[in-house]
Structure 1
Amino acid sequence: MSNLRPLPIIQRVFAALALLVLLAGCTTVAPPDSVLAVPAPAQKYAAIVVDARTGKQLFEVSSTAQRYPASLTKMMTLYLLFEALDSGRISKETQIPVSDHAASQPPTKMRFRRGESIDVDSAIRAIVVKSANDVAVAVGEYLGGSEDQFAAMMTSKARQLGMTSTTFRNASGLPDDSQMTTARDMAVLGMALHQRFPQQFHYFSESDFMFRGRLVRGHNDMLGRVRGVDGIKTGYIRASGFNIVTSYNADGRNLIVVVMGADSARQRNDHVEALIQRSLSPTMDGAKTRLMFAEQ
């Protein structure tokens, strides 16, 4: 890590903004000035860009500050679900029962009735595309025996992956004062999903799916907006602001971009696009970076 003394959060935000403005003037396709505005209150904003091929950190602001993950939590729910698939414990046809507790979760959800179930393949799509809280809880109960036990499994897996500052309390990301993470840890999880489950990663690029004869649409507007973006997950609760982890994979470059705490989905997405353009700029070649991970 850098030997420089860390700046207070607000100073780091303005320093990062100044750097973005400077570099944007050198890019071949400069993003509009409005895109460069830091899209968040200082106490919520955090961001990081990592080269997923090398582990090099290309940009960060408050990336180790504690933040609420919101539905980014579901990335870990899916990680454990993918592990269960890989181990043969379940198949994509396995039926997951939806308990009364799962069905009672607040929206966004698929609105199951008592006694209904969902197959694993549809459950994955419901979590990725719809960010369905009822399905996430049902998955947690099925794999962990209870949602509390599953949350403990999630936290344990986080430590194994090197997510040193994350504690999970539920499977969905719904508000819990003790459920915390950092932008850095979310980047670690995004990289782990891409590297550990390449055969499942295609789910994160889906923007809609059919379920029981109904088209279910998603709300990750980064898909289709920027060429090369192939996932991963959005999140929002009032305490967190608008969060996103985005994977960019094109022209031999693979980036993981995390933005947390934006005031709106539009501001968040504009900021992600600006960070992608900055990171792909030829002026970044040879720039001083810090190795984020010694090993993966």
Structure 2
Amino acid sequence: MNGSRKTGLIILTIVAVVGISLAVLFGFQSHQRAQKKTRIVATTYAVVQIADKLDLPLAGVPTTENHIPARYKNVPRVGSPMNPNVEKIASLKPSVVYSVTTLEDQFGKAFSKRHIKPYFLDLTSVAKLKHVVTQMGHQYQRQAQAKRAIRQINAAEKRARQRAKDQPTKVKVLVLMGLPGASYMAGTNHSYIGNLVVLAGGKNVFMSKNQEYIQPNDEAIKKARPDVILRLEHALPKMVTAQFNQAFKTDPMWKTLPAVKNHRVYDLQEPDFDATANMRAAVALQKISRWLYPHTGGNNQ
């Protein structure tokens, strides 16, 4: 009997081990199949950056002059972020299409005609960027990558707070977003660049309850007397930079401002800066922190 019992226990143990092994194997294969079925199309460069940080495969990427990570070198291009090719995207048979909330009104209807429901990610602040990265990390089983990316941003925020901590007064900052055609908008505290200013310990001269950008007039800018001007060269940067330079050279209003008098006008260029938050946020925050408080002592980086 003892021998029979022993043999029975051995057989049960073997069956249990084999069963567990098969369950793990089938579970892994099921997970692999689910990963392969996920066909993500990113229509903005910010989403490409997030996908790259999370080690996610992409079925489509935007047509852009920005550097596309090597892993997406041969991935089909789907048009510019502001004017994606909906027909091309539909042909890729995506399981999900990602854009950003700032472009939702611009082309949401075009997708609905093709029965494609894009997801518009809110990247209007660093906190919302971290939320998106966390959520996508959880959704696609990339929690470790998400946590690593967020730690880098948190470290940059800590350094910026430390740099601004002992300043007697907050630097007044004007955020401008240039637009092709010799026009510009002022970024408020609700814009991404405005949010970086707040995190760096600055004071945005144009505040709003809900608007990201407003149309300021010369009198309002003169009255604000900004100490620093940040010029975002978002769309067609070479053209926008030339426009900014021409306006600051010919319009006497700009020459009256402390920021211009003291040569504290900075151009925000891609890939470190954009209209929406992206995975270069830590670098962008570090740069703005140094521009706002260049003479901070101590061991701050």
Higher strand share: 1
Where relative contact order (Cα < 8 A, 6+ residues apart) is larger, the structure is: 1
TM-score range, shorter chain: under 0.3
Q: TM-score, normalised by structure 2?
A: 0.25
TM-score when normalising by structure 1? 0.26
